[in-house]
């Protein structure tokens, strides 16, 4: 295995023996985002234990999620799945009265082939509450991809966009009533179109990806500055406010892990996908806005200046990170965008580990990464899909990066061996999108570096006893 860094983007695939969160963890942020929802994870004690420990304090705040814990009778089909789920969902309806119940299928429901998709519509009728089924299991997906499965399932529930022609017709009808017949037909048509223009400058644009509401409104208002109207978000703050979709609707993702949702929106809802880099970092945000504007034929205004201003505000952090090296072990699919941003900040990225790379959905981001490397005259990082943590640690031992972005399982052991780490999970939960939050990303990245500036001269960087030679 060579540690040479190549000049072009290289893609590798390893064994997939890496640490990440189970995709059911998406309930943690989604139940908070969708205020009138209830998430029911149909799984075992293992799933429950993971959620309970991974979500820490949240579990004590009467969350709107629960486990439907499968027992031996469920596995051996001595109990009737449908009756059992009905019983639990009735109780949820009684206690919480949500607008939607989302069933999260797990590894166990996959293996015993529990027909959640088949049961949901039946129970939905009986209960009078929509039931959405998402299979967010560890057999198929990693961490943030859980959100992808939920949003893809929700995309089916979005109302149908009233077709533009119909809308035009409604205006036409009202116009006809208002207009006198002595106007020429041609003129009539012109007025109608003018009215229609006023109604909406750009065709409907729906953004997909769950973001905290402040971040969502920040992004919406960035687009508004360029006079682009956002007609809706998937997911919205409430299930009952899901945006309408249809073949006239343009959609654009805000997160790199939403490839299934993108596919569903295109194929099933006939939406038009705008493939853009993701609005992470000021460079990403600008590229994202520019791409959307270009699709709508809008010329952007003052965007370059705005980006410049953000970079200037980051100066103190940029001085800290410039020339430092980073190693992404990979676990949440944000890696490409984060690496691209950090390279633009002047860092050197040795390796981008990533659980899964959809080269089509991330095409614009990958191109952007490549261009950024060229512009910054920095060698292209290697991109490792389905990485092998053990091998990565061996590589890290040779490369000695200044910073490893890694899961919590490896953070403390790496720190004890003198390698600075940043928990990758924090990037999932922190606000990192848009111009406004660029500073937050660097706040996270520089934290271990700043901490070390304080502790540097104490001579305690390596805190392990003498080790066997085959470890770091």
Partner 1 sequence: MKLAYWMYAGPAHIGTLRVASSFKNVHAIMHAPLGDDYFNVMRSMLERERDFTPVTASIVDRHVLARGSQEKVVDNITRKDKEERPDLIVLTPTCTSSILQEDLQNFVDRASITSNSDVILADVNHYRVNELQAADRTLEQVVRYYLEKARRQGTLDQSITKEPSANIIGIFTLGFHNQHDCRELKRLLQDLNIKVNKVIPEGGSVKDLQDLPKAWFNLVPYREIGLMTAIYLEKNFGMPYISITPMGIVDTAECIRQIEKHVNNLVSNKKFNYEPYIDQQTRFVSQAAWFSRSIDCQNLTGKKAVVFGDATHAASITRILAREMGIRVSCTGTYCKHDAEWFKEQVQGFCDEILITDDHTKVGDMIARIEPSAIFGTQMERHIGKRLDIPCGVISSPVHIQNFPLGYRPFLGYEGTNQIADLVYNSFTLGMEDHLLEIFGGHDTKEVITKSLSTDTDLTWNNESQLELNKIPGFVRGKIKRNTEKFARQNNITNITVEIMYAAKEALSA
316 vs 390, beta carbon nearer partner 1? 390
Closest CA to 354 of 143, 83, 212, 163: 143
Closest CA to 44 of 110, 93, 125: 110
Q: Is 104 buried (19+), middle (13-18) or exposed (0-12) by CB count in 10 A? A: buried
CA atoms within 13 A on the CB side of 182: 0
Select from 26, 27, 30, 67 the one that contacts partner 1 (CB under 8 A). Answer: 67
135 binds partner 1 (CB under 8 A): no
CA angle 96/117/359 to nearest 5° reads 105
Select from 84, 124, 358, 440 the one that contacts partner 1 (CB under 8 A). Answer: 84
Per-residue x/- marks for partner 1, 14-53, CB under 8 A? --xx-xxxxx------------------x-xxx-xxx-xx
Select from 92, 265, 404, 442 the one that contacts partner 1 (CB under 8 A). Answer: 92
Closest CA to 284 of 372, 383, 385: 372
Specify which residues 34 forms β-bridges with.
Answer: none
How far apart are CB 84 and partner 1 at their closest, in Å? Answer: 4
Select from 178, 181, 184, 470 the one that contacts partner 1 (CB under 8 A). Answer: 470
63 vs 379, beta carbon nearer partner 1? 63
376 vs 408, beta carbon nearer partner 1? 408
How far apart are CB 311 and partner 1 at their closest, in Å? Answer: 35
Which part of the chain contacts partner 1 (CB under 8 A), choosing from 71-79, 219-227, 339-347, 376-384? 71-79
Q: Compute how many residues bind partner 1; rule: CB under 8 A.
A: 64
CA angle 395/401/403 to nearest 5° reads 125
Specify which residues 321 forms β-bridges with.
Answer: none
107 vs 251, beta carbon nearer partner 1? 107
C-alpha span between 44 and 67 (Å, rounded):
8
213 binds partner 1 (CB under 8 A): no
Tallying the residues shown for the chain, one arrives at 472
What stretch of H or E contains 232? strand 232-234
Which part of the chain contacts partner 1 (CB under 8 A), choosing from 104-112, 123-131, 436-444, 448-456? 104-112
Per-residue x/- marks for partner 1, 354-393, CB under 8 A? ------------------------------------x--x
447 binds partner 1 (CB under 8 A): no
23 vs 434, beta carbon nearer partner 1? 23
241 vs 358, beta carbon nearer partner 1? 358
Q: Which of residues 386-445 bind partner 1 (CB under 8 A)?
A: 390, 393, 407-413, 416
Long-range contacts of 310-316, Cβ-Cβ distance < 8 Å, separation of 24 or more:
310/282, 310/435, 310/438, 311/282, 313/439, 314/282, 314/345, 314/438, 314/439, 314/442
Select from 77, 139, 162, 363 the one that contacts partner 1 (CB under 8 A). Answer: 139
Per-residue x/- marks for partner 1, 310-349, CB under 8 A? ----------------------------------------
C-alpha span between 33 and 204 (Å, rounded):
23
DSSP string covering 80-113, please?
Answer: -HHHHHHHHHHHHHHHH--SEEEEEE-HHHHHTT
236 vs 393, beta carbon nearer partner 1? 393
Between strands 100-105 and 131-135, the pairing is: parallel
Which part of the chain contacts partner 1 (CB under 8 A), choosing from 103-111, 237-245, 368-376, 448-456? 103-111
Alpha helices for 209-258 (secondary structure H): 213-225
Specify which residues 205 forms β-bridges with.
Answer: 250
Select from 102, 107, 265, 326 the one that contacts partner 1 (CB under 8 A). Answer: 107
Residue recorded with tokens 């003129």: 187
Select from 4, 8, 60, 78 the one that contacts partner 1 (CB under 8 A). Answer: 60
119 binds partner 1 (CB under 8 A): no
CB atoms within 10 A of CB 447: 15
Helical axes 281-295 vs 363-376, angle rounded to 10°:
130
Closest CA to 428 of 259, 216, 280, 242: 280
74 vs 307, beta carbon nearer partner 1? 74
193 vs 412, beta carbon nearer partner 1? 412
309 binds partner 1 (CB under 8 A): no
Select from 6, 10, 91, 97 the one that contacts partner 1 (CB under 8 A). Answer: 91
DSSP string covering 328-395, please?
Answer: E--SSS-HHHHHHHHHHTT-EEEEEEES---TTTTHHHHHHHHHHHHHHT-PPPEEEES--HHHHHHH
User: Footprint of partner 1 on this chain (CB under 8 A)?
Assistant: 16-17, 19-23, 42, 44-46, 48-50, 52-54, 56, 59-60, 63, 66-72, 74-75, 79, 84-85, 87-88, 91-92, 107-108, 110-112, 137-143, 390, 393, 407-413, 416, 463-464, 468, 470-471
């Amino acid at each position: 295995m060579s540690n040479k860094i190549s000049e072009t983007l290289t893609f590798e695939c390893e064994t997939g023996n890496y640490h990440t969160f189970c995709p059911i963890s998406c309930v943690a942020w989604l139940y908070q985002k969708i205020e009138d929802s209830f998430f029911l994870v149909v799984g075992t004690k293992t799933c429950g234990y993971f959620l309970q420990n991974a979500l820490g304090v949240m579990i004590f705040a009467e969350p709107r999620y629960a486990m439907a814990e499968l027992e031996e009778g469920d596995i051996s089909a001595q109990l009737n799945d449908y009756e059992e789920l009905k019983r639990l969902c009735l109780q949820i309806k009684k206690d919480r009265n949500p607008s939607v119940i989302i069933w999260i299928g797990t590894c166990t429901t996959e293996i015993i082939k529990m027909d959640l998709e088949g049961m949901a519509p039946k129970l939905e009728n009986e209960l009078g509450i929509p039931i959405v089924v998402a299979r967010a299991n560890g057999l198929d997906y990693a961490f943030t991809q859980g959100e992808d499965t939920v949003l893809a399932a929700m995309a089916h529930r979005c109302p149908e966009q009233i077709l533009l022609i119909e809308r035009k017709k409604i205006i036409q009808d009202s116009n006809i009533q208002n207009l006198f017949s002595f106007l020429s037909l041609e003129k009539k048509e012109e007025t109608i179109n003018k009215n229609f223009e006023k109604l909406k400058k750009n065709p409907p644009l729906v953004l997909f990806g769950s973001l905290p509401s402040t971040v969502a409104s920040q992004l919406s208002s960035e687009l508004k500055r360029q006079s682009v109207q956002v007609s809706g978000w998937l997911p919205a703050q409430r299930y009952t406010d899901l945006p309408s979709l249809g073949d006239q609707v343009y959609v654009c993702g805000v997160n790199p892990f939403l490839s299934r949702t993108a596919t569903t929106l295109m194929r099933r809802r006939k939406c038009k996908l705008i493939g853009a880099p993701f609005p992470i970092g000021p460079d990403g945000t600008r590229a994202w806005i520019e791409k959307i504007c270009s699709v709508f034929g809008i010329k952007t205004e003052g965007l370059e200046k705005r980006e410049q201003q953000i970079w200037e505000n980051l100066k103190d952090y940029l001085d800290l990170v410039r020339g430092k090296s980073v190693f992404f072990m990979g676990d949440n699919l944000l890696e490409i965008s984060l690496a691209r941003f950090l390279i633009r900040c002047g860092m050197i990225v040795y390796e981008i580990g990533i659980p899964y790379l959809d080269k089509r959905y991330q095409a614009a981001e990958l191109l952007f990464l490549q261009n950024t490397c060229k512009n910054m005259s920095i060698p292209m990082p290697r991109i490792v899909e389905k990485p092998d943590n053990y091998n990565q640690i061996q590589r890290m031992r040779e490369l000695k990066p200044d910073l490893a972005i890694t899961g919590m399982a490896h953070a403390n052991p790496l720190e004890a061996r003198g390698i600075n780490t940043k928990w990758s999970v924090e990037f999932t939960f922190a606000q990192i999108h848009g111009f406004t939050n660029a500073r937050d990303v660097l706040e996270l990245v520089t934290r271990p570096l700043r901490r070390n500036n304080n502790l540097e001269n104490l001579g305690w960087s390596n805190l392990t006893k003498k080790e066997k030679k085959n470890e770091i």
